[in-house]
Amino acid sequence: MNGTKIPNKELISTYEEMDDEHILTALETPMRPGAFDLTDEEKIAKIATHFEQIMDILGLDLTDDSLRGTPHRVAKMYVQEIFSGLNPGNKPAAALFENKYQYNQMLVEKNILVQSTCEHHFLPIYGRCHVAYISNGYVIGLSKINRIVQYFGKRPQVQERLTMQILNELKRVLKSEDVAIYIDAKHMCVSSRGIKDTSSSTVTSAYSGKFEEDSTKKEFLATIQTALEM
């Protein structure tokens, strides 16, 4: 088989049993040692070479004008766009500002676009994230909340992990325990393969501090209700 190693039948069976399960192995994105030893340019070059091999194995004609540049385009997209959140150097800086208005009620930002990638099949996840926090004396610019959501979305993900990573980062940045996250997203690995259910979506939420209290949680959910019904 030209030196190609094929997994044994028992291992393949295990993979298939896990195929449609939502497996979450760790809160942190699993990264190997030395993950950042290569520059982005070196990663793009290596990925392009391997993706060219994948296309060749599939039987595609890489001399065709339409396909010739695809390996490089895919590699560049992986490194600089849809998986750029793997690089901690791309984490958005979020400056704190004193809450001079003394606004001590919840601040809610609704309908933040979520675009991520399922780590099990490398297919898109897309939906909306709703974020709330109560100031502990400091605030951040609204756009920084969007950037934090986007940063953690730009990596292979499981929605549960994505939810908790956003929560923990906002708690750290805001120096406040009072944070809530609600994500409603569709998974292309569900709608375009396997069960092929195009109508379902996945909801995850995480609450910390005052948002663990029923009254505050209900207020948050009531505030985002109109967005959920859209």
Known catalytic residue at 118: yes
Q: Identify which of 144, 90, 138, 134 has the alpha carbon closest to the alpha carbon of residue 112.
A: 144
Catalytic choice (150, 159, 165, 169): 159
- Token pair listed for 200: 């379902």
Which of 118, 150, 157, 165 is an active site residue? Answer: 118
Is 130 annotated as catalytic? Answer: no
pTM of the model: 0.88
Of 113, 205, 212, 224, which Cα lies nearest the Cα of 164? 205
Note if 80 is an active site residue. no
Q: Distance (Å, rounded) from C-alpha 90 to C-alpha 80?
A: 10
Active site residue 129: no
Q: How many CB atoms lie within 10 A of CB 45?
A: 14
Residue position matching structure tokens 């028992």: 10
Q: For this structure, is 72 an active site residue?
A: no
User: Rg of the chain over CA atoms, in angstroms?
Assistant: 21
Our answer to whether residue 121 is catalytic in this structure is yes
CA gap 29, 76 in Å, rounded? 21
Question: Which one of 72, 109, 121, 219 is the catalytic residue?
Answer: 121
Domains belonging to the chain, first-starting first, are 9-90 (1.10.286.10), 97-228 (3.30.1130.10)
The per-residue pLDDT string of the chain (230 residues; one tens digit each, 9 = 90 and over) reads: 455 666 666 655 555 555 555 566 678 999 999 999 999 999 999 999 999 999 999 999 999 999 999 999 999 999 999 999 999 999 999 889 998 888 989 999 999 999 999 999 999 999 999 999 999 999 999 999 999 999 999 999 999 999 999 999 999 999 999 999 999 999 998 888 888 888 889 999 999 999 999 999 999 999 999 767 76
213 catalytic? Reply is no
The dihedral through the CA atoms of 72, 73, 77, 78 has a sign that is negative
